[in-house]
């Protein structure tokens, strides 16, 4: 496979991918209310070479996890999970909301067939608003996954206003009732560890939650939206990661690659010698940061799975110059949502619309293929969060930390919701 072929098939690397996906959205979104995995299951089994992936300890849990995890929100099937298993992936991340529950059901069926549950670190997520809800939701997830324990239960997308309505107040990390509920879950053996995932903006809220969790309470692990640039350029975010790492909280990264690169040719030669694509160069930059135990990657097809797993199996830390080159690539790319959002885009546009969340959901549809989920997330936003009428979108783009093209993004969001 040539470099050009490899690059063209990665959604974030193809300059025309967004336009092509946007053109296809209305027809697909209107008819796709439930995932249909039958066609994928019928494909012949490809031959892949077995791999062993390196592991790291997940904070003070003491448990070792593979440095590459499979994000399971894309329509995975039995075949994909079997190939991921052959390629050494032993970290599976799912959630109640992924594919309207089909993700958890698929994983449950796969474990039921092969009896491999104990070989895996299994993560799932839900959206409790009270300690009592967290207790009952763990039971619900056990039932859905047909297992007697979960390795890690996450509160899903903590800080998102459409999920939590105020729980971003950092004081509740030390709340006695939440601590009791988490302790009860761990002692019951229903979930070995408890934590939360977050990619919320403004980033100051994310930073506040990381710092509060680090001070003590009920959090064993955090999956956090991060990328090499925001870590390098936002000192407060970097310090918050340090605080969590020092406190023994296990860190897992997500959403580290959300670009459609246009300047790859200028820097790719420095990675080609290492056998890296621009995408796996970004993953390697995240793995070079030893604070992260694992990178949870949305590997929606065999090509991405093979590329990422091979890079992980051969991982060697990047040099300072190589890290700088990765950041240069990300900065110079057409990014599709912003890990560094501080709300300046909304303020500059004079709107209450949650522009970065809208960009993230459009990205789910166009890059990840999660069309029906993205459509639901958009339509479920509060009316003011998706009302960009009268907004100065050019000013929003100019103010955006990642220079997102909001005029194009909101147009595609409207097509997705049509």
Kindly state the average pLDDT of the residues 121-148.
96
Quote the CA–CA distance of 137 and 126 in Å, as a whole number: 7
Q: In terms of domains, do 120 and 143 share one?
A: yes
Mean pLDDT over 196-222 rounds to: 92
Question: Quick count: other Cβ atoms within 10 Å of Cβ 24?
Answer: 14
pLDDT for 279: 86
Looking at residue 10, what is its pLDDT?
41
Instruction: Indicate whether 234 and 383 sit together in one domain.
Output: no
Q: Are 347 and 290 members of one domain?
A: no
Identify whether residues 67 and 112 lie together within a single domain.
Answer: yes
The pLDDT tens digits of the residues spanning 361-392 come to 898 888 777 788 889 889 988 899 999 999 99
What is the model's pLDDT at position 48?
Answer: 84
pLDDT in the model for residue 43: 57
Instruction: Convert the pLDDT of each residue in 156-196 to its tens digit.
Output: 998 876 555 444 456 778 889 999 999 999 999 999 999 99
Final residue in a domain of this structure, among 301, 316, 334: 334
> Do residues 239 and 212 both lie within one domain?
yes
Instruction: Look at residue 33 in the predicted model and tell me its pLDDT.
Output: 44
For residues 85 and 183, state if they share a domain.
yes
Q: What is the DSSP annotation of 275-312?
A: T--HHHHHHHHHHHSTTEEEEEE---SHHHHHHHHHHH
Question: With bands split at pLDDT 50, 70 and 90, how would you rate the model's confidence at 228?
Answer: very high
Q: Is the pLDDT of residue 19 over 70?
A: no
Structure tokens, 60: 């003070």
Question: Is 13 domain-assigned?
Answer: no
User: Would residue 361 count as lying in a domain?
Assistant: yes
Please answer whether residues 202 and 341 qualify as being in contact, where contact means their C-beta atoms are separated by less than 8 angstroms: yes
Confidence band, pLDDT 50/70/90 cuts, at residue 42: low
On the question of pLDDT at 45 being above 90, the answer is no
259: pLDDT strictly greater than 70: no
Q: Does residue 363 lie within any of the structural domains? A: yes
Give the range among 12-21, 164-173, 252-261, 304-313 with minimum mean pLDDT: 12-21
Question: Are both 273 and 327 inside the same structural domain?
Answer: yes
Task: Identify whether residues 110 and 95 lie together within a single domain.
Answer: yes
pLDDT average, residue stretch 336-343 = 89
Which pLDDT does position 334 carry in this prediction? 75
- The residue from 278, 302, 334 where one domain ends is 334
**Structural domain boundaries, residue 387:** 336-417
Query: Could you tell me if residue 10 is inside a domain?
Result: no
Examine the domain organization and report whether 299 and 408 are in the same domain.
Answer: no
Mean pLDDT for the chain overall: 85
Q: Are 253 and 282 in contact (CB under 8 A)?
A: no
Crossing angle (nearest 10°) for helices 355-363 and 371-380: 160
How far apart (Å, rounded) are the C-alpha atoms in residues 158 and 127?
Answer: 8
Q: How many domains does the chain have?
A: 2
For residue 24, tell me if it sits in a domain: no
Answer yes or no: do 214 and 77 share one domain. yes
pLDDT for res 268:
59
The domain that contains 250 carries what CATH number? 3.20.20.100
The whole-model pTM stands at: 0.87
Looking only at the bridges linking them, the beta strands covering 191-198 and 150-155 are: parallel
pLDDT on residue 32: 42
Tell how many helices (H) and how many strands (E) occur in the chain: 21, 12
Residue 18 has pLDDT above 90, yes or no: no
């Amino acid at each position: 496979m040539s470099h050009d072929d490899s690059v063209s098939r990665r959604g974030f690397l193809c300059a025309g991918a967004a336009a092509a996906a946007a053109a296809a959205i209305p027809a697909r979104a209107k008819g796709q209310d439930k995932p249909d995995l039958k066609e994928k299951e019928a494909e012949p089994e490809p031959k892949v070479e077995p791999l062993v992936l390196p592991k790291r300890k997940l904070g003070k849990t003491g448990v070792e996890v593979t440095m590459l995890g499979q994000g399971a929100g894309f329509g995975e099937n039995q075949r994909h999970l079997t190939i991921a298993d052959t390629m050494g992936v032993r970290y599976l991340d799912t959630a109640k909301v992924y594919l309207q529950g089909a993700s958890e059901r698929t994983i449950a069926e796969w474990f039921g067939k092969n009896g491999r549950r104990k070989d895996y670190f299994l993560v799932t997520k839900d959206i409790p608003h009270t300690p009592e809800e967290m207790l009952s939701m763990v039971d619900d997830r056990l039932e859905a996954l047909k297992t007697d324990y979960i390795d890690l239960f996450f509160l899903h997308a903590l800080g998102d206003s459409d999920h939590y309505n105020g729980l971003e107040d950092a004081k509740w990390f030390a709340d006695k009732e939440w601590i009791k509920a988490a302790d009860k879950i761990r002692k019951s053996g229903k979930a070995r560890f408890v934590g939360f995932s977050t990619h919320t903006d403004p980033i100051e809220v994310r930073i506040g939650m990381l710092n509060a969790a680090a001070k003590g309470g009920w959090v064993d692990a955090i999956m956090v939206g991060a990328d090499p640039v925001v870590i390098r350029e936002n000192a407060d975010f970097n310090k918050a990661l340090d605080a969590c790492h020092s406190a023994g909280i296990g860190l897992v990264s997500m959403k580290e690659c959300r670009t459609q690169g246009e300047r790859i040719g200028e820097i790719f030669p420095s990675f080609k010698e290492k056998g890296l694509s621009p995408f796996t160069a970004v993953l390697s930059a995240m793995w070079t940061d030893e604070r992260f135990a694992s990178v949870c990657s949305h590997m929606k097809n065999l090509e991405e799975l093979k590329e990422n797993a091979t890079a992980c199996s051969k991982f060697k830390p990047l040099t300072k110059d190589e890290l700088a080159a990765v950041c240069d690539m990300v900065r110079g790319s057409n990014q599709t949502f912003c890990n560094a959002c501080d709300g300046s885009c909304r303020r500059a546009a004079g709107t209450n619309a949650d522009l970065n969340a809208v960009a993230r959901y459009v990205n789910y549809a166009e890059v990840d293929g999660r069309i029906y989920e993205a459509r639901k997330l958009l339509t479920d936003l509060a009316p003011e969060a998706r009302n960009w009428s009268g907004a100065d979108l050019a000013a929003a783009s100019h103010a955006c930390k990642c220079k997102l093209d909001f005029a194009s993004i909101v147009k595609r969001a409207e097509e997705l919701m049509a």
